[in-house]
Amino acid sequence: MLHQASGRWKLGLALALVTAGCWATLPVVLKMSLAVLDPITLTWFRFVFAAAFMALWLGARNRLAPYRSLQGRHWRWLMLATVLLVGNYVGYLLGVQYTSPANAQLLIQLAPLLMALGGIFIFRERFVVGQWLGLAVIVLGLGLFFRDQLQGAVTGGSSYLLGSGFVGLAAVSWAAYALIQKQLLMKLDSSHILAVIYVFSAALLWPFAHPSALLKLDALHWALVLFCCANTLVAYGAFAEALAHWQASRVSAILATTPLLCLLAVAAVHAAWSRAIAPEHVTALGIFGAVLVMAGSAVSSLSGQNTDEAKEA
């Protein structure tokens, strides 16, 4: 038996937009935070913060009982989801190391597209013609944006290919994680799933982190790091709930707008505080590609919505 969305598509759409907004602003703050922390330590602390928050939140509400009903296969699925999510983080970080942040941000958008295909072939979510058309437009837009960024981002052929390969693996890892989480919603709600994943992820990254570096942060960088931590809670909480109420294929279409939203976030921060982050260099071709991604996302998300409304009613 496979998980089915609740049918509350308007709530699912709103939660997907929150997730996209969080993931669009996160790279900007991460870029500023990485001036004083290494990527692994920053990622580890985000998981520790999220794990502590979720444990306290569930414990205060006496909501730890559902874990007692889990069977061995459920714990194995949770462990696999954890490994996949950590693989996504590490693969993305290595991709940024060997290629440019702009290129990594673009290639990681393969993840929601792969999640869409998984929703179709694994959860048997139905795609109407308009959704296929929207998906094709998204792919075209990402390709144009990629070509635009490629001209300015590539500094070495072998390094670029290696970095792109790492990001590609990160995208596959994230898509698989998202689909496993969707299936786990049949046994646990999103808060219970995320609490376990956060704890396991923090434990996996602990040997590679340098917690002492946190003691050297000033007030500004502590604020930035805490924003990253809160972003983790809000983004993945909204994402998990979006999957509970809306089809994975449609959630993925909304998440495809993240590169465009990220460009807007970088421009806004650079305009307000030019020394904090450098502006992105995007030509007319790249802007056109970003607009296509936005348009394709809208078409894919809204096509066939009348049928969903009828089912909900």
Give the ranges where the chain is alpha helix by DSSP (H): 9-33, 39-60, 72-98, 101-107, 110-121, 129-153, 157-184, 190-205, 219-245, 248-255, 258-272, 284-302, 305-312
What global pTM score does this model have?
Answer: 0.73
Contacts of 151 (CB under 8 A, 6+ apart): none
For the chain, how big is the Rg over CA atoms in Å? 19
- pLDDT tens digits along 79-113: 898 899 889 888 887 777 677 666 677 778 778 77
Check residue 5 and give its pLDDT.
Answer: 61
C-alpha of 308 from chain center: 25
Tell me if 34 sits within 8 A of 257, measured CB to CB: no
Residue 217 binned pLDDT confidence (cut-offs 50, 70, 90): very high
- Helix axis angle for 9-33 and 219-245, nearest 10°, is 160
| CA dihedral over 185, 186, 191, 194, signed as positive or negative | negative
Nearest CA-CA partner of 262 in 95, 19, 20: 20
How deeply is 310 buried, as exposed, middle or buried, from its count of CB atoms within 10 A (0-12, 13-18, 19+)? exposed
Contacts of 207 (CB under 8 A, 6+ apart): none
Q: Could you tell me what percent of the chain has a pLDDT over 90?
A: 17
HSE of 49, CA atoms in CB hemisphere, 13 A:
19
Highest average pLDDT, of 60-74, 188-202, 271-285, comes from 188-202
Nearest CA-CA partner of 145 in 28, 295, 282: 282
- pLDDT tens digits along 4-18: 566 677 888 899 899
Check residue 304 and give its pLDDT.
Answer: 60
How far is Cα 186 from Cα 1, in angstroms, rounded to an integer?
9
Q: DSSP letters of 20-78?
A: HHHHHHHHHHHHHHTTTS-HHHHHHHHHHHHHHHHHHHHHHTT--GGGGG--HHHHHHH
Residue 172 binned pLDDT confidence (cut-offs 50, 70, 90): very high
Neighbours of 112 (CB within 10 A): 27
Question: For residue 10, what are its two tokens?
Answer: 């308007």
Residue 233 binned pLDDT confidence (cut-offs 50, 70, 90): confident
Lowest mean pLDDT among 147-156, 261-270, 283-292: 147-156
Tell me if 163 sits within 8 A of 95, measured CB to CB: yes
Contacts of 108 (CB under 8 A, 6+ apart): 92, 95, 167, 170, 171, 174
